[in-house]
Structure formats: C-alpha cells, structure tokens
Structure 1
Amino acid sequence: MRAQDFSAAETQAVYRAIHERRDMRHFAGGAVAPDLLRRLLDAAHHAPSVGFMQPWRFIRIRDAALRQRLHATVEQERVRTARALGEREDEFMRLKVEGLIDAAELIAVALADGREPHVFGRRTLPQMDLASAACAIQNLWLAARAEGLGMGWVSLFDPAEVAALLGLPAGAEPIALLCLGPVHEFYEEPMLQQERWARREPLSSMVFDDRWGAASALFDATQDREIG
C-alpha cells in the first residue's frame, strides 16, 4: 500500500459522507467553533477550479439585522417562486425551504469580480467559474457532514438585491446563502424526496455510451437498483 492510498475505512468514510449529505432546512441553533469553521472553509478553499482561478469568496454574516434583511429577501423570492409554479404553488408554500434565522452560521458565497481575464478553460465555457465555486460549496458540505453539522444551500433570492446588501463590487455575483450549524437529526433521505416533491432518478437513465440516449453497458436493472 502506498503512503498516498486511503485505507478501506477512510475510503468508506468518503462514500458515507457523500451518500449521507443532506440539504438541511431544520437547524438546532447553537454555534460553530471558530477553529471548526476555519477548517470547513479551508476544505472549501481546497476545491478544484478551472485554470486554478479560485473564483469563490465567502462572506460570514455576523450582523443580526443583516441576516434578517437577507431572510426577507429570500421570503420575497419564495412567494414569487410559488406563484411561478402554478398548480404546485400551495404544495411549495408548505415546504420549509431555508433556515437563515435558525442556523448557527450564515455564509454568503459570491463569484469574485475581475474574472474576465481568466480564459484558461473558460474561453468557450465561461460558466466554469460557477462550476468551480460549486465544487468549493460541495467540499464545505461534505466536510460539514463529516463533522456532524448540517448545511443548506439557499438560492431563492434576487442576486442584485443580495449584492447590494453585501456591498459586492461591480462584477461580483452572489450564488448562494449557506445555512450551517448543528441539527437535531439528519433527514433519512433528501428532504424534497421525503416530502414527495421529487425523487432521485435511476443512475442508468443518466449514463450513456458514446452518444446521447444510448443505454450504457455499465448497467442492467439489478445493478442500478443495488447502487441506488
């Protein structure tokens, strides 16, 4: 075994964090110790990024009044989203979609300004700055789960309103409000699946061989059922 290899237990722990990570909406208050928060943000900062551009910026919301204003912005968008859903409006309004007030920590994630010069890997796919920042958020999510903390990604907001509230410079763009902290328990399954809003599709329906729509030889019905 090479020094760089993971032990069987370490490997299993990685897969456990992936499969037991949940987009949390119910929080238990409390606090996140500063050394733990630094450790989680360091995990986020070690995410891969296209061209090593590191486009993520994190803003820790410590002012209670600012948190309330952000909550109001999210609530406004929640209502607009419900109306846009048409016949599912009432069903959506019964869902708990954020934990901004209850979570121990609220962290805004933004794409940095001055991203235009980063053309390495972005000349034809400029959205890779967003993809890179999403990797950082996923790192934070998995590390939080491993540390026993819940995290929820809230995207129900008007970007211009949040940018103004956070004093972002021109060119910077908010992409997430992350609710982070202790939870009473983790959902047994994704909350939106638990609430019958949606369900996880079988992996075999999303993996193709050679061209779009061509079923992959990796799967038959039994294998897909075992993985899912």
Structure 2
Amino acid sequence: MKKLLIVTSYLVFFILGGLTFTYLSTTEAASNMKKISVFQDTINYYVDKVGKKPQEGQSGFIYEGTTYVPLRFIAESLGEKVTWDGKSKSVYIGDVPKFISLKDVKPIGSDEDHFFHYPSSIVISTGEKFEQSYQLGGYHGGGAVQDHTVEYLANGNYKGFETYLAPVKKLAAGSFGIGSMKIYADNKLIYNSGSIKDKVKVNVNLEGASKVKFEIEGSGLGILDPKFIQ
C-alpha cells in the first residue's frame, strides 16, 4: 500500500483517471453522499495475456474487498470507446444510444397523446428542476390529468425506456406515497413502481416488444423526461 487518499468521487476517477477527487458519485440525491478512505495501490493489468499500463496517477484502489479500476483505461484496452454525458451523468461504453422523447412518438390510434404531447418544466420535492416533463394533476392540453393510459407500437425498434418518477411536492410524514406507473410489453406487466415516495429511476428492457403500454395514476406525481431508447 502506497498512499492514503480521501476519496469524494468515484466517477471522476473511473472515467478521467484523475488524481483530484472533488465529487462523490451518488445514486439519486445529495443526501446519499458519504466520504470514504481508501489506499491507492499498484495493480497489474493484463488483457488477453498482454500487460497493459495506465497513465501515471491512474492506478486503481481496493475498498472493502472490491478492486476499483480506471474505466476509460480498461474500456480502451478492450478496444471500446468511452463517452461521458455530464448532463445525465451517464457513462457509455461502445455505441451511444439514441433517445426519443415520448412527446415525439405517436400513440396507437392518434397522431399525438394529449398528456405526453405537452411537456413542461417540473420542480420536484427535492428542488430539482426537469425539462420535458409532466405532472399528474397538472394541466396538459385539454385540462388537468389524474390517471392516464396510453399505448405505443414498438415493433422491436426500442431497446428500452427510461424516466424518473418523483413527488412534485414534499409528502407529509407517514405518507404511503403518491401516484404510480405500470409498464406493459405485449400486454405483460414488466414494471410496477408501486406508490412513489421518493425520486426513483425507471429503466426497463423493451427488446423484441411489439407494443408498449403505460398506466399512470395519482396526483402530484412527476414523470421526468421520459424517453424510448433505440
């Protein structure tokens, strides 16, 4: 073991291989942040029996029995490119997927969906602001929408669907949550959020699906930047 580091970011290290750690990688909100202490160590790398050496200062480290290594170095050693999207805080290894906003997809039986065709800016209970988003109980086109069901043709063209669900307003203590989303692929239930109490990420696999149906219900539920993935 060579050097004690106080690490406040996994992500910068994994992607950029930097020595200065300034942000903690979190799953959802700042409340999940914590500071950890790790020892940076010399790690030997081999790809198909050939030794590989990262740039100086990009050594991995071991934390609680798990070895962490520089992502960009490993991916490029395997012949894959690495792309970092700072806006969505996403890492892509290999090809970058194409995202199609739900507002731009025609539902079955209509040229547009009266709920998802009218996105707006949404501020959720954490204070975060999202564009291209929707609020159950808010006004969209023809009026306030409480519950909503819509179905789309997929024809195997989509690899997945993703969004965030979150309460728009802070819930009262002891609340069981507010609103929910169900997703069906070819009439089979593949996702059920249950009643939402906190911000959660939705990411479902739609490979091979011919039709996709969404059922959402409640009031005060935010559906944040929903999109299909190609």
| Superposed pair shares fold, TM > 0.5 | no
TM class, shorter-length = under 0.3
- Greater RCO between the two (CA within 8 Å, min separation 6)? 1
How high is the TM-score relative to the length of structure 1?
0.25
Question: In terms of Rg, which structure is larger?
Answer: 2
Q: Say which structure is richer in strand.
A: 2
How high is the TM-score relative to the length of structure 2?
0.25
